[in-house]
Amino acid sequence: MPTLKDRGFLHPLASEITPQAAYLRRRELLQGLGLAGAAALLPAAGPALAQRAAPPLPPLPGARSTVPGAIATDKLTDFKDASTYNNFYEFGLDKDDPAKHAHTLKTRPWTVAIEGAVKKPGLLDIEAVLKLAPMEERIYRLRCVEGWSMVIPWVGFSLAELIRRVEPTGNAKFVEFVTLADRAQMPGLRSSVLDWPYVEGLRMDEAMHPLTLLAFGMYGQVLPNQNGAPLRLVVPWKYGFKSGKSLVKIRFVEQQPKSSWEKAAPQEYGFFSNVNPQVDHPRWSQATERRIGEDGLFAKKRPTLLFNGYEPQVGQLYAGMDLRRFF
């Protein structure tokens, strides 16, 4: 198993790109043979996976969000790409591992523990969380620190809806997000690439920002397991790794939490991790990105935007801050 050091979080290695390209070629081939239906049934991992293909995901519609900035007008990434090119290290390090292995994740029963500086701590059942607020559809760009991006129609509601209901006290300065770590369900936990469980954090004002989304679905259906079912965070102006999948605990704390990526490589992954084309990763530039779906080997890269293009909505959260120091 590669270590963090020799692999690096997260170069798009040829071995990561090839299976995707091979998959697309296979699909084209089948379509050319008039077997489009068969192509649709053939998942990225091939026939072995097709045999145990899950039933179609239940619908989860949401009304179009009216939160400013919540509806990007970019072309949507294909569902197939969004659900087969994933980072979910609990299911393996390769891009197609989560789609291959996350069928072992049991998303019911599921609870989310609310802990720390709140007046109403406790265990929330997922069915109760789903009813906290009306579902909205939001179209967000997701920029991964590795240099690729997607545009995904999520379904969920602002994390602020949950936070308000648990009544944080004055001591709640940060929010820590802990995701599931169960060896019985997650083969990737055998790797020591990260200190499990996967932990991420936000400052309280970031967590309360209306764009910070608690997502339960995408493309009008419940989340596929590999995308972080049954609930995940989506913070569209930060690198994708801030958006923890399959959340089991939300803690309200006074001190800035240490995220798993900060622990693994503090000089490479800062607490804020706002998308910023001017602050390079120590080992690669962050100035441009490869939009998944437009990525023929010679396709032109897109310029990366400050705060992933959400500066009008979130820029004021960082007014006066040195973004190089607080990367």
CA 166 to chain CA centroid, Å, is 24
Output 114 or 150, the one with its CB closest to ligand MTE: 150
**Binding-site member from 42, 72, 89, 116 for ligand MTE (CB under 6 A):** 89
3-state DSSP assignment of residue 270: coil
Q: Which of residues 67-86 bind ligand MTE (CB under 6 A)?
A: 86
- Tell whether residue 185 is a contact of ligand MTE (CB under 6 A): no
State the residue for tokens 């296979």. 26
Rounded to an integer, what distance in angstroms lies between the CA atom of residue 196 and that of residue 160?
26
Does 243 engage in binding with ligand MTE (CB under 6 A)? yes
CA dihedral 150, 156, 160, 166 (to 10 degrees): -140
Position among 245, 249, 251, 290 found at the interface with ligand MTE (CB under 6 A): 245
Q: Which stretch binds ligand MTE (CB under 6 A): 88-96, 125-133, 262-270, 316-324?
A: 88-96
Which one of 69, 81, 84, 88 is in contact with ligand MTE (CB under 6 A)? 88
Does 151 interact with ligand MTE (rule: CB under 6 A)? no
Of 24, 58, 91, 54, the closest CA to residue 227 belongs to 91
Give whole-number Cα distances, 269 to 8, 197, 265, 314, 322, in Å.
12, 17, 6, 20, 16
Q: Which of 240, 257, 293, 309 binds ligand MTE (CB under 6 A)?
A: 240
Q: Does 130 bind ligand MTE (CB under 6 A)?
A: no
Q: Which of 99, 114, 117, 142 binds ligand MTE (CB under 6 A)?
A: 142
Q: From CA 75, how far away is CA 73, in angstroms rounded?
A: 7
State the chain's maximal CA–CA distance in angstroms: 64
Site for ligand MTE contains 308 (CB under 6 A): no
Contacting positions for ligand MTE (CB under 6 A)? 86-90, 142, 144, 179, 198, 227, 240-241, 243-246
